[in-house]
């Protein structure tokens, strides 16, 4: 039999460009503006430079009317023809170029992946573009503030930390997620939770309870606290990552759900609450899209040792570092004029010890879910 001529598939035609979202087009436009300014300077025989808003404590301000931390107006120049900034100029342009590639291809990448994607030697020298991950992370944040966008809008994500369960349904990349039927593990909150990815369904949930650690969250999930109290239960594995904070922000603002925080009675727990409520100094440029000024501190409180009848074996003595940190937090502008918070921190210092949420388990395995939190919610005596 004569052999049939089998045609090879035609790979010469270009792949159709993916559809870009409104945010993607806006981010690309910001990137083009940066590139155009650099090009214009070079064409006009001016030294190319980038202007980056300063991410520093000296350029961070507390907006009393909005009740959030915000970045000030100070900027820093990053010229190409300057030995001290030439490398960071190049790195900034590299990250910007990598971001453009990701958006053009409608793909996402971890910040670790971007580091490897951009890392290479600059021939003929042995100089590398990025020595280590931290160098790349810093530049990513610089590009964020330069473009005025979230890292997630640059199609970059970090490791998944944090979970959610409860009376909420939503579409995640087109897949329907029902957080009432996710077993013991719940839903892992991703790094990118923007409206193009996560689309909420209406919910009858009454509030959000955010707990500090996954181990405590597991207790609440196993006891079906969210079902008995018609709520959404989240955790951030300690200091909540950006995806968790952004998810809380969206749930609170779009679904009008109050946020209550169950955190350790120590300076670290206070700081976590401060970050959720007012934003962080490191990410002050994104507070308007992450901070929740109306969030409330439910517990653990400094008087719970006596009020709940806990035994002495659960207390943890304060270190000198703890005392110093507590006084720093008490001096934060958003805590300094609040008598209840000053009383709370003073009582912890006078006690000489701190308490973790897990200390409540010494009363009973389910004391925190069946007694402590329901009583706090009923009393409504939260710290603001």
Domain boundaries, the chain: 22-157, 163-379
CA dist 310 and 331 (Å) reads 30
pTM for the predicted model, two decimal places: 0.84
- Residue 331: which residues within 8 A CB-CB, separation 6 or more? none
CATH of domain 163-379: 3.40.1360.10
Angle of helix 267-278 versus helix 242-254 axis, rounded to 10: 50
Neighbours of 34 (CB within 10 A): 17
Cβ atoms 236, 217 nearer than 8 A: no
Q: Which residues contact 96 (CB under 8 A, 6 or more apart)?
A: 31, 34, 35, 143
Q: At residue 143, what are phi and psi to the nearest 5 degrees? A: -65, -35
Architecture of domain 22-157: Orthogonal Bundle (1.10)
Q: What does the pLDDT profile of the chain (384 residues) look like in tens digits?
A: 455 555 555 555 566 666 788 888 999 999 999 999 999 999 998 999 999 988 888 888 888 888 888 888 888 999 999 888 999 999 999 999 999 999 999 999 999 999 999 998 888 888 889 999 999 999 999 999 899 888 888 999 887 889 999 999 999 988 999 999 988 889 999 988 888 889 999 999 999 999 999 999 999 999 999 999 999 999 998 889 989 999 999 999 999 999 999 999 999 999 999 999 988 877 777 888 889 999 999 989 999 999 999 988 899 999 999 999 999 999 998 899 899 999 999 999 999 999 999 999 889 999 999 999 999 999 998 998
- Token readout for 268 is 């670290």
CA 109 and chain centroid, separation: 17
- Look up 116 and say whether it is catalytic: yes
The answer to whether the CB of 166 falls within 8 A of the CB of 186 is no
Q: Which of 116, 157, 260, 367 is catalytic?
A: 116
Cis peptide before 255 (omega within 30 of 0): no
């Amino acid at each position: 039999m004569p052999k049939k001529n089998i045609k090879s598939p035609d790979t010469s035609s270009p792949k159709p460009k993916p559809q870009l979202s409104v945010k993607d087009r806006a981010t690309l436009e910001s990137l083009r503006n940066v590139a155009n300014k650099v090009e214009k300077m070079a064409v006009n025989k001016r030294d190319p430079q980038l202007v980056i808003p300063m991410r520093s404590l000296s350029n961070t301000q507390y907006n009393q009317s909005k009740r959030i931390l915000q970045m000030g107006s100070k900027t820093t120049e990053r010229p190409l023809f300057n030995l001290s900034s030439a490398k960071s100029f190049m790195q900034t342009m590299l990250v910007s170029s990598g971001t453009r590639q990701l958006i053009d291809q409608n793909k996402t990448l971890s910040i670790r992946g971007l580091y490897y994607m951009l890392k290479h030697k600059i021939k003929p020298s042995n100089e590398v573009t990025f020595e280590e991950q931290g160098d790349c992370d810093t530049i990513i944040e610089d590009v964020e503030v330069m473009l005025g966008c979230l890292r997630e809008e640059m199609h970059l994500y970090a490791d998944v930390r944090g979970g959610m369960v409860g009376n909420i349904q939503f579409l995640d990349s087109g897949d329907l997620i029902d957080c009432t039927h996710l077993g013991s593990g719940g839903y892992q909150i991703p790094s990118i939770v923007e409206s193009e990815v996560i689309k909420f369904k209406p919910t009858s949930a009454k509030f959000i309870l955010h707990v500090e650690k996954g181990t405590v969250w597991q207790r609440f999930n196993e006891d079906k606290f969210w079902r008995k109290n018609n709520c959404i239960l989240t955790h951030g594995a300690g200091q909540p990552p950006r995806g968790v904070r952004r998810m809380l922000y969206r749930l609170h603002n779009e679904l009008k759900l109050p946020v209550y925080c169950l955190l350790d009675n120590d300076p670290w727990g206070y700081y976590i609450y401060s970050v959720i409520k007012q934003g962080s100094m490191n990410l002050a440029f994104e507070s308007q899209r992450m901070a929740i000024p109306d969030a409330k501190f439910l517990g653990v409180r400094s008087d719970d040792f006596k009020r709940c009848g806990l035994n002495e074996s659960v207390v943890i003595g304060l270190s000198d570092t703890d005392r110093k940190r507590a006084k720093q937090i008490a001096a934060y502008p958003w805590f300094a004029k609040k008598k209840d918070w000053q009383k709370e921190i003073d009582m912890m210092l006078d006690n000489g010890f701190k308490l973790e949420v897990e200390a409540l388990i010494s009363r009973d395995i389910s004391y925190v879910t069946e007694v402590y939190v329901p009583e706090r919610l009923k009393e409504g005596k939260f710290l603001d």
